[in-house]
């Protein structure tokens, strides 16, 4: 048996001590006169004997402590889990609770938890910010606690009426436990749940159920730890007295807390508690005084993020170091080695490189070293944002523009410097002036990246803010830099580099309307009346001449299909924008881009869609409604014009994409100043469809199998017909639908008033460069198509009609009316003849009889029957979807099969 548990007489203890060797006492130890020696078996068999009451109450208090911690961090899900476990643990302790009564701490947690949940439930803003799991757990736990608390309603009411009494009782029990008690006093009857709960000694009266601040909790926990500290001095004095008196007690009792037995011990403990309370009060009162002294003294100053306000310049070289080319290049390589590593301060790296440039210029190390460092500074500015989606800050962007301009100044001032990606670092010549200086780096790559950064800045700026206008002013600097690089590469660059920089110049030119050239076309030059400034502006190169020169060079010299394709599309766009319809149409047809554009990358497809839209708008301005409709058909019929033009993402499309795909799509969006007005686009398409569809519907009114020219136009007509109340039109679509109904009746004046009015002028027609010319053309088209519709609709009513009457009715001159009717007769659209002497149109009664109508219907049904039989026969012969089986050649394409639908399918794929 171990000496730790020995309880023998004095003689037995002396004999056991004399028979063993003396062990030296460790230095500084104050744990007793003899060491604690335990065997391995006894160490493994340590046991603590506790009553069933202690075990059950300890389990409850541990769960309550976990619930309170979860309440502090607003983790309602954890509260729900622990509350369910608490209910089960209370059920296990039911027999003990029946004897002892419901413990106070259990009633307190039920009341506090219910109040806590009610507060969370009433906090509407907090509930909105909760995640899904916490919100669900809140409603579940609230229902459970209300149902559970019905069994403890009287106890909870008593607790809420007098919460201070229950808090004081627990505080007294905690104090008794902290002072310690003897083993004899700690029997089953004396232990309560308060011994296992670490509550605060003082509870505010009005805030008994509120959570206190973390700072006060820490201080209270320190006080409780101090109160539970070992009283080593009393332990050592007791052990000395035992040796003097010759009494041996249990060794384990030396490590237990001693209860104050005498009056002096009680007074000392009371004094100790008072001193601690006084120190705590002094600490609290001292804090605001210290803060006031700090604010008044002015010795301390608050800084942001712990960064010192004054930064010392980093020392690049040790004092006395000779600055040479080799030393500077070595330092440059050291700085570049940290580039891209985790934890590297990118801003500090840029500052080091700029400082290195100053050192190189101060020591006259030559332009070659400065050019090399400048290249790395610009590259570091681009790398400042590691994420592709983020754009450069304004100060970094301005630094980048200034640095590129400085680099170009050096290159133009020193024609003996050659830069290029093909120059290896080993073959660089940075300081030998006898030979041409050679520096590794590509100025064109830096400019292309600068252009991409400018696009990202415009994409991420609110287009309706003044900030966007300020950023857009930087485009002049970007274009000037591109122009300088173009002049530099025309002297020293390769053909491929010249094509690339030409494309950059084209991309900043093709979408801009040249007002100066347009003005020169309208007003012939008069040299005497123009000022010198106007003459200087007009002497500049027209954008049409510039585009022609740049694009033709790319057509001839470029070896990559992508650059040539982009140049062709930009050239067509520029022609269409300036109303050069025939040049734009011919270039589009000769390029055959519509055949294989579906294989291009998405940015090129977006450019193709923009070009086709601009081509259609150009045709509309020229009065070619059929060409305009065909050009806009693919974009408008898809219902995704906004997305196909790169001007935004549709909400329904966002649901089909994940976040990565959405980020990629947003990076492809076109900046706002390049946008095409979608309302203008839709209006042009619907008006073109109206001018084509209404006469066609009137001509084939009795035809059961007439086809629709525009599905979207018919959809708008059906929407207008479904409306129960027809008021005055408000939107652009309603104006077009109302005009269509008027044209269908042959009332061209009403149609004209719906299409051209102040509201439509402000929304659509005033946006064209030559608005008056477009409106005049549109009135003429409405008159002509209304005349055709009138003849189709009412030809059966007339035997003959005078052309003069038609001319007066539609306010058209007589030759125009004669021309329209003659074309209708030639195309067999109108069964009539012209009587030249009397200038009348004589109608022919060619309406089919009932028997003829039945015969026509029978012929149509027989034709469809024959077509179906042919398809079934082809299927039996081995023809599947346009391919038929051949033993020699395998599967071979049947070119003639379903050719009529193949073009439509191919045409529908051209829209991105």
pLDDT tens-digit readout, 210-228: 443 444 444 444 444 444 4
Taking the C-alpha atoms of residue 874 and residue 862, their distance in angstroms, rounded to an integer, is 18
Which of 491, 469, 592, 482 is closest to 546 using CA atoms?
A: 482
Q: Which residues make beta-bridge pairs with 420?
A: 440
List CB contacts of 116: < 8 A, sequence separation 6 or more. 71, 209
Taking the C-alpha atoms of residue 52 and residue 30, their distance in angstroms, rounded to an integer, is 36
Asked if 23 and 32 touch (Cβ cutoff 8 Å), the reply is: no
For CA atoms 588, 589, 594, 595, give the dihedral sign: negative
List CB contacts of 112: < 8 A, sequence separation 6 or more. 68, 71, 209
Taking the C-alpha atoms of residue 29 and residue 226, their distance in angstroms, rounded to an integer, is 20
Q: What is the pLDDT of residue 514?
A: 84
Q: What is the pLDDT of residue 575?
A: 93
Instruction: Give the tokens for residue 42.
Output: 């006894």
Average pLDDT, the chain: 76
- Tokens 């902290």 appear where? 178
Q: What is the pLDDT of residue 86?
A: 92
For CA atoms 245, 246, 248, 254, give the dihedral sign: positive
Taking the C-alpha atoms of residue 861 and residue 245, their distance in angstroms, rounded to an integer, is 130
Q: What is the pLDDT of residue 181?
A: 38
Taking the C-alpha atoms of residue 216 and residue 722, their distance in angstroms, rounded to an integer, is 71
Q: What is the DSSP letter of 429?
A: B
Instruction: Give the tokens for residue 159.
Output: 């607790």
Q: What is the pLDDT of residue 285?
A: 63
Asked if 789 and 694 touch (Cβ cutoff 8 Å), the reply is: yes
- Tokens 């070659």 appear where? 368
Q: What is the pLDDT of residue 218?
A: 46
pLDDT tens-digit readout, 841-861: 888 876 666 787 788 888 888
Asked if 105 and 197 touch (Cβ cutoff 8 Å), the reply is: yes
Taking the C-alpha atoms of residue 47 and residue 61, their distance in angstroms, rounded to an integer, is 22
Burial class for 693, CB neighbours closer than 10 Å (0-12, 13-18, 19+): buried
Q: What is the pLDDT of residue 682?
A: 92
Taking the C-alpha atoms of residue 793 and residue 799, their distance in angstroms, rounded to an integer, is 14
Side by side, the strands of the sheet bearing 883-886 are 879-880, 883-886, 890-893
Taking the C-alpha atoms of residue 860 and residue 872, their distance in angstroms, rounded to an integer, is 19
Asked if 713 and 695 touch (Cβ cutoff 8 Å), the reply is: no
**pTM surpassing 0.85?**
no
Taking the C-alpha atoms of residue 891 and residue 641, their distance in angstroms, rounded to an integer, is 39
- pLDDT less than 70: residues of the chain: 1-48, 164-264, 284-320, 523-541, 652-656, 702-705, 846-849, 878-912
Q: What is the pLDDT of residue 884?
A: 40
Phi-psi region of 101 (alpha: psi -120 to 50; beta: other; left: phi over 0): left
List CB contacts of 708: < 8 A, sequence separation 6 or more. 693, 714
List CB contacts of 821: < 8 A, sequence separation 6 or more. 791, 803, 806, 830, 832, 834, 841
Give the 3-state secondary structure of residue 840.
strand
Look at strands 800-802 and 840-843 and give their pairing. Answer: antiparallel
CA angle, residues 841, 784, 722, in degrees to nearest 5 = 110
Q: What is the pLDDT of residue 555?
A: 92
Cα 602 to chain centroid distance, Å, stands at 20
Look at strands 832-835 and 840-843 and give their pairing. Answer: antiparallel
Taking the C-alpha atoms of residue 498 and residue 347, their distance in angstroms, rounded to an integer, is 34
Q: What is the pLDDT of residue 609?
A: 93
List CB contacts of 412: < 8 A, sequence separation 6 or more. 484, 488
φ, ψ dihedrals at 631, nearest 5°: -70, -35
Instruction: Give the tokens for residue 761.
Output: 């002028």
Q: What is the pLDDT of residue 879?
A: 53
Q: What is the pLDDT of residue 203?
A: 41
Q: What is the pLDDT of residue 229?
A: 42
Q: Where are the domains of the chain?
A: 52-161, 677-843
Taking the C-alpha atoms of residue 845 and residue 333, their distance in angstroms, rounded to an integer, is 95
Longest dimension (CA), the chain: 160
pLDDT tens-digit readout, 680-713: 999 999 999 999 999 988 888 766 567 788 888 8
Count CB atoms within 10 A of the CB of residue 27.
5
pLDDT tens-digit readout, 660-671: 888 888 888 899
The architecture that CATH gives domain 677-843 is Orthogonal Bundle (1.10)
Taking the C-alpha atoms of residue 30 and residue 42, their distance in angstroms, rounded to an integer, is 24
């Amino acid at each position: 048996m171990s000496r730790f548990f020995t309880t023998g007489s004095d003689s037995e203890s002396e004999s056991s001590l004399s028979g063993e060797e003396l062990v030296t006492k460790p230095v500084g130890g104050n744990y007793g006169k003899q060491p604690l020696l335990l065997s391995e078996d006894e160490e493994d068999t340590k046991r603590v004997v506790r009553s069933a009451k202690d075990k059950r109450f300890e389990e409850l208090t541990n769960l309550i402590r976990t619930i309170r911690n979860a309440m502090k961090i607003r983790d309602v899900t954890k509260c729900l889990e622990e509350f369910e476990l608490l209910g089960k643990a209370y059920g296990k302790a039911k027999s003990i609770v029946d004897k002892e009564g419901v413990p106070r701490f259990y009633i307190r947690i039920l009341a506090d938890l219910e109040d806590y949940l009610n507060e969370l439930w009433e906090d509407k803003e907090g509930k909105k910010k909760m995640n899904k799991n916490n919100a669900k757990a809140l409603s579940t736990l609230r229902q459970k606690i209300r149902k559970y608390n019905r069994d403890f309603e009287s106890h909870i009411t008593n607790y809420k009426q007098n919460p201070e009494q229950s808090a004081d009782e627990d505080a007294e029990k905690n104090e008794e436990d902290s002072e310690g008690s003897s083993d004899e006093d700690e029997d089953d009857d004396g232990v309560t749940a308060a011994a296992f709960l670490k509550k605060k000694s003082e509870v505010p009266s009005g805030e008994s159920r509120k959570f206190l601040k973390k700072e006060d909790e820490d201080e209270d926990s320190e006080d409780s730890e101090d109160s539970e500290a070992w009283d080593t001095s009393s332990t050592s004095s007791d052990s000395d007295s035992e040796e003097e008196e010759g009494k041996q007690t249990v060794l384990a009792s030396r490590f237990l807390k001693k209860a104050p037995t005498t009056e002096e011990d009680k007074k000392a403990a009371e004094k100790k508690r008072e001193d601690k309370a006084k120190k705590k009060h002094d600490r609290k009162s001292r804090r605001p005084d210290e803060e006031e002294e700090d604010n008044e003294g002015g010795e301390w100053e608050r800084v942001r993020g712990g960064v010192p306000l004054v930064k010392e310049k980093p020392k690049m070289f040790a004092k006395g170091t000779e600055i040479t080319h080799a030393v500077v290049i070595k330092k440059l390589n050291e700085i570049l080695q940290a580039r891209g590593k985790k934890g590297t301060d990118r801003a500090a790296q840029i500052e080091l490189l700029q400082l290195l440039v100053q050192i190189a210029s101060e020591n006259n190390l030559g332009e070659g070293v400065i050019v090399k460092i400048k290249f790395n500074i610009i590259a570091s500015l681009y790398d400042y944002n590691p994420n592709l989606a983020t754009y450069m800050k304004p100060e970094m962007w301005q630094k980048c523009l200034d640095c590129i301009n400085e680099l170009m100044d050096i290159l133009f001032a020193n024609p003996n410097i050659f830069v290029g990606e093909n120059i290896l670092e080993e073959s660089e010549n940075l300081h030998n002036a006898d030979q041409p200086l050679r520096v590794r780096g590509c100025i064109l790559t830096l400019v292309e990246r600068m252009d991409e950064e400018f696009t990202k800045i415009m994409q991420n700026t609110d287009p309706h803010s003044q900030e966007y206008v300020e950023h857009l002013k930087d485009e002049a600097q970007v274009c000037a830099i591109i122009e300088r690089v173009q002049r530099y590469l025309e002297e020293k660059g390769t053909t491929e580099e010249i094509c690339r920089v030409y494309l950059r110049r084209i991309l900043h030119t093709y979408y801009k309307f040249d007002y100066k050239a347009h003005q020169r076309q309208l007003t012939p030059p008069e040299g005497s009346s123009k000022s010198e400034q106007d003459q200087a502006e007009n002497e500049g190169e027209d954008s049409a001449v510039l585009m022609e020169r740049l694009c033709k060079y790319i057509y001839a010299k470029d070896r990559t299909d992508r650059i040539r394709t982009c140049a062709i599309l930009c050239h067509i766009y520029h022609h269409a924008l300036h109303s050069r319809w025939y040049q734009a149409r011919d270039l589009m047809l000769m390029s055959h881009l519509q055949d294989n554009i579906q294989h291009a990358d998405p940015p090129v497809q977006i450019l193709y869609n923009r070009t086709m839209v601009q081509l259609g708008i150009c045709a509309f301005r020229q009065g070619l409604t059929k060409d305009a409709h065909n050009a806009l058909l693919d974009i408008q019929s898809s219902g995704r014009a906004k997305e196909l033009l790169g001007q935004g993402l549709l909400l329904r499309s966002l649901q089909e994409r994940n976040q990565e795909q959405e980020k990629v799509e947003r990076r492809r969006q076109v900046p706002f100043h390049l946008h095409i007005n979608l309302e203008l686009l839709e209006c042009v398409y619907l008006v073109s469809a109206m001018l084509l569809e209404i006469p066609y519907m009137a001509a084939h009114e009795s035809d059961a199998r007439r086809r629709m020219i525009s599905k979207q136009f018919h959809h708008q007509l059906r929407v207008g017909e479904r409306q129960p109340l027809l008021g005055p039109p408000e939107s652009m679509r309603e104006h077009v639908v109302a005009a269509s109904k008027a044209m269908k009746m042959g009332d061209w004046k009403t149609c004209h008033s719906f299409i051209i009015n102040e509201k439509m002028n402000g929304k659509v027609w005033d946006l064209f460069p030559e608005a008056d010319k477009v409106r005049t053309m549109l009135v003429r088209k409405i008159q002509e198509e209304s005349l055709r519709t009138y003849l189709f609709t009412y030809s059966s009513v007339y035997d003959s009609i005078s052309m003069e009457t038609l001319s007066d009715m539609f306010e058209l001159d007589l030759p125009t009316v004669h021309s329209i009717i003659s074309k209708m007769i030639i195309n067999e659209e109108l069964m009539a003849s012209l009587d030249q002497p009397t200038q009348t149109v004589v109608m022919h009664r060619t309406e089919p009889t009932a028997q003829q109508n039945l015969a026509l219907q029978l012929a149509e049904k027989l034709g469809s029957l024959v077509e179906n039989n042919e398809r079934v026969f082809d299927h039996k012969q081995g023809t599947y979807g346009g391919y038929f089986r051949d033993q020699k050649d395998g599967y071979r394409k049947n070119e003639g099969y379903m050719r009529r639908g193949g073009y439509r399918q191919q045409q529908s794929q051209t829209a991105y």
